[in-house]
Amino acid sequence: MQKALKALLWLLPLIFGVGFLAPVIAEGLVAAGIAAPFGLGALTFGLLVGGVWGAFATVTGRWI
């Protein structure tokens, strides 16, 4: 149980990036009327940015 909890806690930045940041980025693009680059949909772009940012935070242990 302890190993499973440690694994979950280690992945929390990635989960936050995909589960919270991605929809916020997507809705921000839609609200501002900005088209996502490369012909991507707003949510796809949000998932890409949020996932990369969350993965970076998971690996390095910091958000910036």
What is the C-alpha to C-alpha distance for residues 13 and 10, in angstroms, rounded to an integer?
7
What is the C-alpha to C-alpha distance for residues 28 and 43, in angstroms, rounded to an integer?
10
Question: Which helix (DSSP H) or strand (DSSP E) does residue 51 occupy?
Answer: helix 42-60
The strand ranges marked E within 1-64 are none
State residue 64's pLDDT score. Answer: 80
Q: What is the DSSP letter of 40?
A: -
CB-count burial class (<10 Å; 0-12, 13-18, 19+) for 6: exposed
State residue 28's pLDDT score. Answer: 97
pLDDT digits (tens, 9 = 90+) for 5-53: 998 899 999 999 999 999 999 999 999 999 999 999 999 999 999 999 9
- Confidence at 63, pLDDT banded by 50, 70, 90: confident
